[in-house]
C-alpha cells in the first residue's frame, strides 16, 4: 500500500494502546507517536520498543516518536488521541494552535471527562470545532494485538466516507477494522464496559463463581444498552464489537486493567492503594461517577454501576456491593433496551 495515500498520522499518547495503534498505522503510512515522557519517546525512536507498557514486543521499525507536542501535531493529516480522559482537554488545548484545520480526529480513549461527564468526542468538538471526529474501539487488549493475535475493532465516524477512508490505516491481515456511523453508541460502549469490568473483577476476586460472573456481564450489558439508548445510541451497536465484544474482553481477561482493580478491591485493598501500584490508567475508576450522573439525569436504572460507584467513591466493601445486588428486584429481561 502506498504510504502517500493517507498522509501523516500522529498519535497522542504512548501508553500501551496508543503505541500499538501507532505501530499498526506505521505499516501503511508515516506515523509519529507523541510521548509526554522524553525517555519513552527516545526508547520508541531508537529501540522500537516500549518496555514499561509492552515488554518484549517489537514496534514497527518505521514508527517515529517525539516528546515535542507542537512538532507532533503540526504535520498530522490524521490525529489520533490516546491519552487518559482527564488529560485530553488540557493536551488538546496546548496542541490546538499547531493543528491544521479540518483534519480528522480519532479518539482511542474509553472514558468520560471527570468533571463535565462529556464523552471524548464532545471534548474534542469543544476544543477543536470543525474537525470530523470519531472513535476507534473494540475488544482490543494491546499486548495481544501487537503480538499478532487475530482481533477486530470499529472505526466510527459520523460520515461513512470518512470512516471508509480511515479504515485501511489501522487494518492488518489479522486486525480487522469495521465501520460504523454511530459514534455515540461506540463511544458509550467503550466507556460503560469499564465500569462493568470493575464489578466482574470484584466477582472474580470474591470467588463467587462463573454463574455470577455471567450474570454480571449480561446484566451489565443490559445497563449499558439502557443508558446508551436513552442517550440516543442505536441499540444494535451495543450488541457488536464496541459493546458486547469489548465488555467480554475487559471482564474476562487477566490483562484487563479494570478487572484487575476489581479483583484487588475484592481482596480488601483501598482504591488509592491499588491505583498507586499501577503504571497504567483504569478508566472505569474515574468514569463511574460521571456514568451515575448521566443515569440519574436520564432516569435510567443502573444497579450494577451504582454498586460499583458505592465501592469506588463511597467506601462500601465489595462483599456488601454484591449483597446489594441481591436486593434488586428482577423485572423484564429487556426492560428499557428494546
Q: Which residues does the annotation mark as catalytic? A: 193
Cα 70 from Cα 95, distance rounded (Å) = 6
C-beta separation of 11 from 73 below 8 A: no
Report the candidate in 54, 258, 248, 278 with the shortest Cα–Cα distance to residue 151.
248
Integer angstrom CA distances of residue 235 from 136, 228, 243, 263: 18, 7, 10, 30
Query: DSSP state, 190?
Result: H
C-beta separation of 2 from 16 below 8 A: no
Q: Which residue has the cell 495481544?
A: 144
Query: Which H or E run includes 134?
Result: strand 133-137
* Alpha helix ranges (H) inside 207-338: 210-230, 246-252, 257-266, 271-276, 283-297, 303-314, 318-326
Report the candidate in 9, 335, 332, 13 with the shortest Cα–Cα distance to residue 170.
9
Q: How many CA atoms lie within 13 A of 288 on its CB side?
A: 24
* Alpha helix ranges (H) inside 35-181: 38-47, 69-74, 88-95, 120-127, 142-146, 160-170
CA dihedral sign, ordered 254, 255, 256, 262: positive
Q: Which residue has the cell 479494570?
A: 258
Amino acid at each position: 500500500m502506498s504510504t502517500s495515500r493517507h498522509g501523516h498520522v500522529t498519535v497522542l499518547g504512548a501508553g500501551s494502546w496508543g503505541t500499538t495503534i501507532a505501530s499498526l498505522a506505521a505499516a501503511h503510512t508515516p506515523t509519529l507517536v507523541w510521548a509526554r515522557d522524553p525517555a519513552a519517546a527516545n526508547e520508541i525512536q531508537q529501540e522500537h520498543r516500549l518496555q514499561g507498557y509492552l515488554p518484549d514486543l517489537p514496534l514497527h521499525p518505521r514508527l517515529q516518536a517525539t516528546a515535542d507536542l507542537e512538532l507532533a501535531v503540526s504535520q498530522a493529516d490524521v490525529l489520533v488521541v490516546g491519552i487518559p480522559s482527564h488529560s485530553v482537554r488540557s493536551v488538546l488545548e496546548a496542541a490546538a494552535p499547531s493543528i491544521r484545520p479540518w483534519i480528522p480526529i480519532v479518539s482511542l480513549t474509553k472514558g468520560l471527562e471527570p468533571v463535565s461527564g462529556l464523552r471524548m468526542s464532545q471534548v474534542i468538538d469543544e476544543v477543536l470545532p470543525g474537525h470530523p471526529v470519531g472513535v476507534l474501539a473494540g475488544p482490543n487488549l494491546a499486548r495481544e494485538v501487537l503480538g499478532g493475535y487475530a482481533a477486530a475493532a470499529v472505526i466510527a465516524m459520523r460520515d461513512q466516507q470518512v470512516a471508509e477512508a480511515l479504515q485501511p490505516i489501522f487494518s492488518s491481515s489479522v486486525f480487522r477494522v469495521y465501520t460504523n456511523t454511530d459514534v455515540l453508541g461506540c463511544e458509550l460502549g467503550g466507556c460503560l464496559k469499564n465500569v462493568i469490568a470493575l464489578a466482574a473483577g470484584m466477582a472474580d476476586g470474591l470467588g463467587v463463581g462463573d454463574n455470577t460472573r455471567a450474570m454480571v456481564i449480561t446484566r451489565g450489558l443490559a445497563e449499558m444498552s439502557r443508558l446508551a439508548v436513552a442517550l440516543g445510541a442505536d441499540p444494535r451497536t451495543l450488541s457488536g464489537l464496541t459493546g458486547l465484544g469489548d465488555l467480554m474482553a475487559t471482564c474476562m481477561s487477566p490483562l484487563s486493567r479494570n478487572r484487575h482493580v476489581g479483583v484487588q478491591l475484592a481482596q480488601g485493598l483501598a482504591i488509592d492503594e491499588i491505583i498507586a501500584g499501577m503504571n497504567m490508567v483504569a478508566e472505569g475508576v474515574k468514569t463511574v461517577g460521571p456514568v451515575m450522573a448521566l443515569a440519574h439525569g436520564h432516569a435510567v436504572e443502573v444497579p450494577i454501576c451504582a454498586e460499583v460507584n458505592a465501592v469506588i467513591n463511597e467506601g462500601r466493601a465489595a462483599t456488601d456491593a454484591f449483597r446489594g445486588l441481591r436486593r434488586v428486584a428482577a423485572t423484564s429481561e429487556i426492560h428499557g433496551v428494546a
